[in-house]
Amino acid sequence: MNKSKAVILSSFTTLIIAAATFSYIYFNTNKAVPHIEPVLEGQSDFSVIQSRDLFQENQEANDEISNSRHNIITKTVKRISPAIVGINVTEIRQYRNPWSMDPFWRQFFGDQVYNREIQGLGSGTIISKDGYILTNDHVAGNGVKIIITMTDGTQHEAKIIGTDQTSDITLLKIDVDNLPFVELGDSDDIMIGEWVIALGNPFGLFAVNDKPTVTVGVISATGMNLGAKENRYYLSMLQTDAAINSGNSGGALVNSVGQLIGMNTLIYTAQGSSGNVGVGFAIPVNKIKRIINELKRKGKVDRDFWTGLRVQTIDDGIAKYYNLKNTRGVIITNVEAGSPADKAGLETTDVIKKVNDFNVSDYNSMANILQEFMTNDVLNMKIIRNNKELNLKMKLERRND
């Protein structure tokens, strides 16, 4: 019995010792261990620090690259895009039945003329916070209903304040206040080769997401005299390689800081091509300023003037007879008494070489140049008389003044 008690006591003592030993090992091996960076084989603590610094530098470099994408062009586009609008125009055009040209048909059925609604589209630029919008005459000048679509998706009906077919400029107005608008710049301060941005509504794409399409290029040339097309006269045009396509007409051409320097109007298309080939033309903003001021005041541009001049293109025979160096210019063949030309002192056989800043090359160029001016403008006429260069002033007056 005593022997059994001794065995039990010995076992109990052994259990207590084992429990104590297990507790000691458990609590000492589960203390908090400081975090250790994973180190590759052969990598020292200094290498770990270098890795951290390199990661930080790479992250900063990536951030800098991302930020550098926000350049002056992207900032300008973001700022002025809300001032670009899409324009949908409804025109009424008259059509004559081809059979009406036949006298026999016309005798029985009369001269059949009917109206047809024609839908068109183009671009426009808001130029004042009270809702004046600039576009081309060939876009909206004959519109009976004009709908303006803004970048916020809203639509407004516009009215025509005035239009000028000769310069291809129309001024519209919507009854909305506090609008974003594009500041008018100075087209005389343009540098050939400077960056420009063309914004507009080519092919009606504005309607897809209520945002203008943006293309970027440079000013390729200034002072481009393109002559007349459908009774519209295009002189002193800006040439750009920024892509301009159908529907871009009336849209803004801005410089890199977002100032309006021109209105996209024409494109040159090579034979067999109907799209952009990198030669687009815009009306310079300084010309636009003059026209829209007249449209605001009168609704039209007053060109009811006369000169009293008759001129002729210079050919080789005339150049030789008058001992001229070349055939550029026009020769005056008649001056009406009491006319603006007579008052200016112009005479028969004078050769006109330049009108203001426009070089005169032939009869057509002279006729085109005169369309740039308004009644009461004073022109500086550079002429050759008896092989001497003279400068005379001619005021464009109304015939009934």
Which pLDDT does position 104 carry in this prediction?
A: 59
Neighbours of 177 (CB within 10 A): 8
Active site residue: 138, 187, 236, 350, which one? 138
Active site (annotated) includes residue 357: no
Question: Per the domain annotation, does 105 fall within a domain?
Answer: no
Helix boundaries (H) for 117-244:
137-140, 206-209
* pLDDT for 263 beyond 90: yes
Contact 317, 371 (CB under 8 A): no
* pLDDT for 21 beyond 80: no
Which pLDDT does position 33 carry in this prediction?
A: 40
* pLDDT for 94 beyond 90: no
* pLDDT for 119 beyond 50: yes
Q: Rounded to an integer, what is the distance from CA 103 to the centroid of its chain?
A: 50
Phi, psi of 241 (to 5 degrees): -100, 5
Domain boundary among 241, 270, 298: 298
Question: Per the domain annotation, does 263 fall within a domain?
Answer: yes
Percent of the chain residues topping a pLDDT of 90: 63
* pLDDT for 20 beyond 90: no
Active site residue: 123, 164, 167, 168, which one? 168
Q: 161 and 194 in one domain?
A: no
Question: Per the domain annotation, does 193 fall within a domain?
Answer: yes
The alpha carbon torsion through 267, 273, 276, 277 (nearest 10 deg) reads -90
At 133, which CATH number?
2.40.10.10
288 membership: H or E segment, kind and range: helix 285-298
Question: In angstroms, how far is the first alpha carbon of the chain from the final one?
Answer: 152
Please tell me the distance from the alpha carbon of residue 8 to that of residue 3, in angstroms, as a whole number: 9
What confidence category does residue 101 fall into, taking pLDDT thresholds of 50, 70 and 90?
low
Q: Which of 69-78, 201-210, 288-297, 356-365 has the lowest mean pLDDT?
A: 201-210
Q: 283 and 210 in one domain?
A: yes
Please tell me the distance from the alpha carbon of residue 355 to that of residue 279, in angstroms, as a whole number: 27
Tens of pLDDT along 24-53?
555 554 444 444 344 334 445 545 555 566
Which pLDDT does position 37 carry in this prediction?
A: 42
Q: 157 and 193 in one domain?
A: no
Q: 289 and 247 in one domain?
A: yes
Question: Per the domain annotation, does 13 fall within a domain?
Answer: no
Nearest partner of 375 among 289, 287, 306, 297, judged by Cα? 306
Q: 266 and 323 in one domain?
A: no
Domain boundary among 298, 317, 350: 298
Interval 378-388 mean pLDDT: 95
Active site residue: 123, 167, 187, 249, which one? 249
Percent of the chain residues topping a pLDDT of 70: 75
Q: 221 and 125 in one domain?
A: no
Which pLDDT does position 92 carry in this prediction?
A: 83
Contact 87, 148 (CB under 8 A): yes
Domain boundary among 279, 298, 317: 298
Question: Per the domain annotation, does 366 fall within a domain?
Answer: yes
Q: 346 and 253 in one domain?
A: no
Tens of pLDDT along 77-93?
999 999 999 999 998 87
Question: Per the domain annotation, does 352 fall within a domain?
Answer: yes
What confidence category does residue 227 fall into, taking pLDDT thresholds of 50, 70 and 90?
confident
Q: 195 and 136 in one domain?
A: no
Q: Which of 47-51, 223-227, 396-400 has the lowest mean pLDDT?
A: 47-51
Question: Per the domain annotation, does 35 fall within a domain?
Answer: no
> Based on the structure, what is the number of domains in the chain?
3
Active site (annotated) includes residue 138: yes
pTM: 0.77
Domain that holds residue 261: 187-298
**Across the chain, what does the average pLDDT equal?**
84
Question: Per the domain annotation, does 264 fall within a domain?
Answer: yes
Active site (annotated) includes residue 249: yes
Q: 329 and 292 in one domain?
A: no
C-alpha pair distances (Å), 153 with each of 97, 145, 340: 41, 19, 53
Which pLDDT does position 334 carry in this prediction?
A: 96
At 388, which CATH number?
2.30.42.10
